[in-house]
Protein backbone atom coordinates (compact mmCIF):
# COMPACT_ATOMS: atom_id res chain seq x y z
CA UNK A 1 0.00 0.00 0.00
CA UNK A 2 1.35 3.43 -0.96
CA UNK A 3 1.01 5.82 1.98
CA UNK A 4 0.51 9.06 0.08
CA UNK A 5 -0.57 11.95 2.29
CA UNK A 6 -3.04 14.69 1.46
CA UNK A 7 -0.28 17.20 2.09
CA UNK A 8 1.87 15.60 -0.59
CA UNK A 9 -1.00 15.62 -3.07
CA UNK A 10 -1.70 19.32 -2.40
CA UNK A 11 1.96 20.18 -2.85
CA UNK A 12 2.11 18.16 -6.07
CA UNK A 13 -1.03 19.89 -7.31
CA UNK A 14 0.53 23.31 -6.62
CA UNK A 15 3.69 22.32 -8.48
CA UNK A 16 1.67 21.05 -11.44
CA UNK A 17 -0.21 24.38 -11.59
CA UNK A 18 2.71 26.76 -11.17
CA UNK A 19 5.40 24.69 -12.96
CA UNK A 20 7.94 26.36 -10.71
CA UNK A 21 9.24 25.20 -7.31
CA UNK A 22 9.56 28.72 -5.90
CA UNK A 23 6.04 29.85 -6.85
CA UNK A 24 4.51 26.54 -5.80
CA UNK A 25 6.26 26.70 -2.43
CA UNK A 26 5.04 30.25 -1.90
CA UNK A 27 1.47 29.21 -2.75
CA UNK A 28 1.71 26.37 -0.21
CA UNK A 29 3.26 28.55 2.49
CA UNK A 30 6.44 26.46 2.80
CA UNK A 31 10.07 26.83 1.80
CA UNK A 32 11.32 25.67 -1.58
CA UNK A 33 13.68 23.05 -0.04
CA UNK A 34 10.78 21.66 2.00
CA UNK A 35 8.68 21.32 -1.16
CA UNK A 36 11.56 19.59 -2.98
CA UNK A 37 11.90 17.09 -0.14
CA UNK A 38 8.17 16.32 -0.21
CA UNK A 39 8.26 15.77 -3.97
CA UNK A 40 11.27 13.43 -3.72
CA UNK A 41 9.46 11.44 -1.04
CA UNK A 42 6.39 11.23 -3.27
CA UNK A 43 8.50 9.98 -6.19
CA UNK A 44 10.10 7.41 -3.90
CA UNK A 45 6.65 6.10 -2.98
CA UNK A 46 5.83 5.59 -6.67
CA UNK A 47 9.27 4.32 -7.55
CA UNK A 48 9.57 6.55 -10.61
CA UNK A 49 10.02 10.24 -11.51
CA UNK A 50 6.87 12.36 -11.45
CA UNK A 51 8.62 15.56 -12.54
CA UNK A 52 10.89 16.25 -15.50
CA UNK A 53 13.49 18.64 -14.10
CA UNK A 54 15.67 18.80 -17.21
CA UNK A 55 13.66 21.49 -19.01
CA UNK A 56 13.75 25.18 -18.15
CA UNK A 57 10.08 24.98 -17.15
CA UNK A 58 9.10 22.10 -14.91
CA UNK A 59 7.09 19.43 -16.70
CA UNK A 60 5.32 16.37 -15.39
CA UNK A 61 6.44 12.94 -16.48
CA UNK A 62 3.94 10.55 -18.05
CA UNK A 63 3.30 9.06 -14.62
CA UNK A 64 3.02 12.54 -13.15
CA UNK A 65 0.35 13.48 -15.70
CA UNK A 66 -1.66 10.41 -14.73
CA UNK A 67 -1.24 11.13 -11.05
CA UNK A 68 -2.34 14.76 -11.27
CA UNK A 69 -5.65 13.74 -12.86
CA UNK A 70 -6.36 11.41 -9.96
CA UNK A 71 -5.00 13.90 -7.42
CA UNK A 72 -7.50 16.51 -8.62
CA UNK A 73 -10.36 14.07 -8.08
CA UNK A 74 -9.13 13.13 -4.61
CA UNK A 75 -8.56 16.71 -3.49
CA UNK A 76 -11.91 17.85 -4.83
CA UNK A 77 -13.66 14.96 -3.05
CA UNK A 78 -11.96 15.79 0.25
CA UNK A 79 -12.86 19.47 -0.08
CA UNK A 80 -16.47 18.50 -0.72
CA UNK A 81 -16.46 16.36 2.43
CA UNK A 82 -15.39 19.45 4.37
CA UNK A 83 -18.10 21.47 2.65
CA UNK A 84 -20.65 18.80 3.55
CA UNK A 85 -19.77 19.30 7.20
CA UNK A 86 -20.07 23.10 6.83
CA UNK A 87 -23.49 22.71 5.22
CA UNK A 88 -25.11 21.55 8.45
CA UNK A 89 -23.62 24.30 10.62
CA UNK A 90 -26.14 27.09 9.99
CA UNK A 91 -25.12 30.31 8.24
CA UNK A 92 -22.06 29.93 6.04
CA UNK A 93 -18.82 30.51 7.93
CA UNK A 94 -15.13 29.95 7.37
CA UNK A 95 -13.19 30.49 4.14
CA UNK A 96 -14.92 31.45 0.89
CA UNK A 97 -12.53 31.29 -2.06
CA UNK A 98 -13.96 33.88 -4.41
CA UNK A 99 -12.59 34.50 -7.90
CA UNK A 100 -13.30 37.70 -9.81
CA UNK A 101 -12.37 39.06 -13.21
CA UNK A 102 -10.06 42.12 -13.46
CA UNK A 103 -12.66 44.32 -15.17
CA UNK A 104 -14.96 43.97 -12.14
CA UNK A 105 -12.63 43.58 -9.14
CA UNK A 106 -11.43 47.19 -8.64
CA UNK A 107 -14.94 48.62 -8.93
CA UNK A 108 -17.12 46.10 -7.10
CA UNK A 109 -14.99 43.89 -4.86
CA UNK A 110 -14.29 46.21 -1.88
CA UNK A 111 -17.97 47.02 -1.29
CA UNK A 112 -18.98 43.46 -2.12
CA UNK A 113 -16.73 42.12 0.65
CA UNK A 114 -18.10 44.68 3.13
CA UNK A 115 -21.65 43.71 2.20
CA UNK A 116 -20.94 40.01 2.66
CA UNK A 117 -19.29 40.71 6.02
CA UNK A 118 -22.44 42.48 7.20
CA UNK A 119 -24.59 39.45 6.34
CA UNK A 120 -22.06 36.71 7.14
CA UNK A 121 -19.83 37.98 9.97
CA UNK A 122 -18.05 34.63 10.32
CA UNK A 123 -17.27 34.34 6.60
CA UNK A 124 -13.61 34.71 5.59
CA UNK A 125 -13.66 35.93 1.97
CA UNK A 126 -10.45 35.08 0.15
CA UNK A 127 -10.53 36.87 -3.22
CA UNK A 128 -8.47 36.01 -6.26
CA UNK A 129 -8.40 38.28 -9.31
CA UNK A 130 -7.56 36.72 -12.67
CA UNK A 131 -8.94 36.15 -16.16
CA UNK A 132 -12.07 34.11 -16.84
CA UNK A 133 -10.37 31.05 -18.31
CA UNK A 134 -8.26 30.56 -15.17
CA UNK A 135 -11.22 31.15 -12.86
CA UNK A 136 -13.34 28.54 -14.60
CA UNK A 137 -10.54 25.99 -14.56
CA UNK A 138 -9.97 26.53 -10.84
CA UNK A 139 -13.70 26.36 -10.12
CA UNK A 140 -14.12 23.07 -11.93
CA UNK A 141 -10.98 21.68 -10.24
CA UNK A 142 -12.24 22.74 -6.80
CA UNK A 143 -9.61 25.40 -6.07
CA UNK A 144 -12.29 28.11 -5.93
CA UNK A 145 -15.75 28.07 -4.37
CA UNK A 146 -17.46 30.78 -6.43
CA UNK A 147 -16.51 33.33 -9.07
CA UNK A 148 -17.86 36.64 -10.34
CA UNK A 149 -17.59 36.66 -14.14
CA UNK A 150 -19.31 37.80 -17.32
CA UNK A 151 -22.18 35.52 -18.37
CA UNK A 152 -22.99 33.23 -20.02
CA UNK A 153 -20.23 30.70 -19.34
CA UNK A 154 -21.68 27.69 -21.20
CA UNK A 155 -19.96 25.37 -18.74
CA UNK A 156 -22.34 22.51 -17.85
CA UNK A 157 -20.65 21.81 -14.50
CA UNK A 158 -21.38 25.33 -13.23
CA UNK A 159 -24.54 27.06 -12.05
CA UNK A 160 -24.98 30.70 -13.11
CA UNK A 161 -26.78 33.40 -11.12
CA UNK A 162 -27.04 36.84 -12.80
CA UNK A 163 -26.21 39.85 -10.62
CA UNK A 164 -26.34 42.93 -12.84
CA UNK A 165 -26.41 44.22 -16.41
CA UNK A 166 -24.33 47.15 -17.58
CA UNK A 167 -23.51 48.95 -20.80
CA UNK A 168 -20.14 49.85 -22.28
CA UNK A 169 -19.24 53.49 -22.75
CA UNK A 170 -16.79 55.24 -25.06
CA UNK A 171 -13.76 56.99 -23.55
CA UNK A 172 -12.22 59.78 -25.64
CA UNK A 173 -9.72 62.60 -25.01
CA UNK A 174 -11.29 65.53 -23.19
CA UNK A 175 -11.10 67.77 -26.26
CA UNK A 176 -13.36 65.33 -28.16
CA UNK A 177 -16.26 65.80 -25.71
CA UNK A 178 -18.37 67.84 -28.14
CA UNK A 179 -17.79 65.69 -31.21
CA UNK A 180 -20.42 63.25 -32.57
CA UNK A 181 -20.16 59.77 -31.10
CA UNK A 182 -18.72 57.42 -33.71
CA UNK A 183 -20.60 54.32 -34.82
CA UNK A 184 -18.99 50.86 -34.54
CA UNK A 185 -17.86 50.88 -38.17
CA UNK A 186 -16.13 54.22 -37.54
CA UNK A 187 -14.35 52.90 -34.46
CA UNK A 188 -12.67 50.34 -36.70
CA UNK A 189 -10.92 53.19 -38.45
CA UNK A 190 -9.70 54.86 -35.26
CA UNK A 191 -6.78 54.10 -32.96
CA UNK A 192 -8.60 51.69 -30.68
CA UNK A 193 -7.14 50.66 -27.32
CA UNK A 194 -8.12 47.20 -26.05
CA UNK A 195 -7.19 44.90 -23.21
CA UNK A 196 -4.61 42.26 -24.03
CA UNK A 197 -5.48 38.68 -24.97
CA UNK A 198 -7.22 36.60 -22.30
CA UNK A 199 -9.71 39.21 -21.06
CA UNK A 200 -13.35 38.49 -21.88
CA UNK A 201 -14.05 42.24 -22.03
CA UNK A 202 -11.62 42.46 -24.95
CA UNK A 203 -13.63 39.82 -26.82
CA UNK A 204 -16.87 41.67 -26.12
CA UNK A 205 -15.43 44.95 -27.42
CA UNK A 206 -14.10 43.24 -30.54
CA UNK A 207 -17.52 41.72 -31.17
CA UNK A 208 -19.28 45.08 -30.83
CA UNK A 209 -16.86 46.77 -33.21
CA UNK A 210 -17.05 43.78 -35.59
CA UNK A 211 -13.28 43.44 -35.66
CA UNK A 212 -13.09 39.65 -36.01
CA UNK A 213 -12.67 39.75 -39.78
CA UNK A 214 -11.27 43.28 -40.19
CA UNK A 215 -8.68 44.34 -37.59
CA UNK A 216 -8.55 48.07 -36.84
CA UNK A 217 -6.06 50.26 -38.60
CA UNK A 218 -4.06 50.97 -35.46
CA UNK A 219 -4.83 48.60 -32.57
CA UNK A 220 -3.04 49.03 -29.25
CA UNK A 221 -3.28 46.90 -26.12
CA UNK A 222 -3.11 47.46 -22.36
CA UNK A 223 -3.03 45.24 -19.30
CA UNK A 224 -5.85 46.98 -17.39
CA UNK A 225 -8.72 49.40 -17.88
CA UNK A 226 -6.78 52.00 -15.89
CA UNK A 227 -3.89 51.76 -18.34
CA UNK A 228 -6.23 52.16 -21.31
CA UNK A 229 -7.89 55.25 -19.84
CA UNK A 230 -4.54 56.82 -19.03
CA UNK A 231 -3.46 56.23 -22.64
CA UNK A 232 -6.65 57.91 -23.85
CA UNK A 233 -5.97 60.86 -21.54
CA UNK A 234 -2.54 61.16 -23.13
CA UNK A 235 -4.17 61.49 -26.55
CA UNK A 236 -3.11 58.09 -27.84
CA UNK A 237 -6.54 56.82 -28.90
CA UNK A 238 -10.01 55.82 -27.71
CA UNK A 239 -11.32 52.86 -25.76
CA UNK A 240 -14.41 51.18 -24.33
CA UNK A 241 -14.94 50.52 -20.63
CA UNK A 242 -17.82 49.04 -18.60
CA UNK A 243 -20.00 51.62 -16.91
CA UNK A 244 -19.10 50.44 -13.38
CA UNK A 245 -15.56 51.66 -14.09
CA UNK A 246 -16.63 55.23 -14.95
CA UNK A 247 -16.67 56.83 -11.46
CA UNK A 248 -13.09 55.75 -10.75
CA UNK A 249 -11.45 55.87 -14.16
CA UNK A 250 -12.99 59.16 -15.32
CA UNK A 251 -11.30 60.89 -12.36
CA UNK A 252 -7.88 59.50 -13.13
CA UNK A 253 -7.26 61.12 -16.52
CA UNK A 254 -8.49 64.05 -18.67
CA UNK A 255 -11.07 62.10 -20.69
CA UNK A 256 -14.67 62.42 -21.81
CA UNK A 257 -17.30 59.70 -21.47
CA UNK A 258 -20.00 59.16 -24.10
CA UNK A 259 -22.84 56.72 -24.56
CA UNK A 260 -22.58 54.68 -27.71
CA UNK A 261 -25.35 54.62 -30.35
CA UNK A 262 -28.06 52.00 -30.04
CA UNK A 263 -28.01 49.06 -29.94
CA UNK A 264 -25.48 49.71 -27.21
CA UNK A 265 -23.08 46.95 -26.20
CA UNK A 266 -23.59 45.54 -22.73
CA UNK A 267 -22.58 42.66 -20.54
CA UNK A 268 -24.14 40.62 -17.77
CA UNK A 269 -22.16 39.99 -14.60
CA UNK A 270 -23.02 36.98 -12.48
CA UNK A 271 -21.82 34.55 -9.86
CA UNK A 272 -21.04 30.94 -10.74
CA UNK A 273 -20.26 27.82 -8.70
CA UNK A 274 -20.07 24.05 -9.13
CA UNK A 275 -23.48 22.41 -9.30
CA UNK A 276 -22.02 19.41 -7.46
CA UNK A 277 -20.84 21.42 -4.45
CA UNK A 278 -22.49 20.44 -1.14
CA UNK A 279 -22.68 24.18 -0.45
CA UNK A 280 -24.53 24.96 -3.68
CA UNK A 281 -27.69 26.02 -1.80
CA UNK A 282 -25.71 28.34 0.47
CA UNK A 283 -23.90 29.83 -2.53
CA UNK A 284 -27.33 30.51 -4.01
CA UNK A 285 -28.22 32.43 -0.85
CA UNK A 286 -25.03 34.46 -1.19
CA UNK A 287 -25.92 35.22 -4.81
CA UNK A 288 -29.31 36.54 -3.64
CA UNK A 289 -27.58 38.78 -1.09
CA UNK A 290 -25.34 40.11 -3.86
CA UNK A 291 -28.32 40.66 -6.19
CA UNK A 292 -29.90 42.82 -3.47
CA UNK A 293 -26.57 44.60 -3.11
CA UNK A 294 -26.46 45.50 -6.83
CA UNK A 295 -29.93 47.03 -6.56
CA UNK A 296 -28.70 49.36 -3.85
CA UNK A 297 -25.64 50.19 -5.95
CA UNK A 298 -27.64 51.28 -9.00
CA UNK A 299 -28.12 54.86 -7.82
CA UNK A 300 -24.58 55.10 -6.44
CA UNK A 301 -23.03 55.39 -9.89
CA UNK A 302 -24.32 58.86 -10.68
CA UNK A 303 -24.90 59.16 -14.39
CA UNK A 304 -23.99 55.62 -15.30
CA UNK A 305 -26.45 53.00 -16.39
CA UNK A 306 -25.75 49.96 -14.22
CA UNK A 307 -28.88 48.04 -13.27
CA UNK A 308 -29.88 44.73 -11.67
CA UNK A 309 -29.93 41.84 -14.11
CA UNK A 310 -33.30 41.26 -15.72
CA UNK A 311 -34.70 38.27 -17.53
CA UNK A 312 -34.21 38.31 -21.29
CA UNK A 313 -37.42 36.35 -21.73
Asked if residue 137 belongs to a domain, the reply is yes
CATH number at residue 213: 3.40.190.290
pLDDT of res. 294: 84
pLDDT of res. 301: 42
User: Lowest mean pLDDT: which of 105-109, 250-254, 269-273?
Assistant: 250-254
Higher pLDDT, residue 131 or 90: 131
What percent of the chain shows pLDDT beyond 70?
A: 88
Range of the domain at 301: 91-313
CA torsion 306-308-312-313 (nearest 10°) is -150
Residue 119 has pLDDT above 80, yes or no: yes
Higher pLDDT, residue 91 or 126: 126
Provide the domain count of the chain: 2
194 lies in the same domain as 73? no
Which residues sit opposite 98 in a β-bridge? 127, 146
- Integer Cα distance of 83 and 301 in angstroms: 36
- Within a 10 A sphere around the Cβ of 201, how many other Cβ atoms? 23
Across the range 209-238, mean pLDDT stands at 78
pLDDT of res. 106: 94
Cβ pair 145, 98 in contact under 8 A: yes
CA torsion 154-141-149-311 (nearest 10°) is 40
Residue 12 has pLDDT above 70, yes or no: yes
Amino acid sequence: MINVTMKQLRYFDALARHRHFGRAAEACGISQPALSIQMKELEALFGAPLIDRSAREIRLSGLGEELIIRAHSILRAVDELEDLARKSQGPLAGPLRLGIIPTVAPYLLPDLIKHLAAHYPDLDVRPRETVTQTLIRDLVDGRLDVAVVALPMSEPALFEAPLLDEEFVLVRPLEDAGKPVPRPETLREMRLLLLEEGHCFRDQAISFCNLQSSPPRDLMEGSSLSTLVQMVGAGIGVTLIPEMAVPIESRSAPVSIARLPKPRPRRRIGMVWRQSSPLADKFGQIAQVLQDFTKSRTSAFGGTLMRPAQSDG
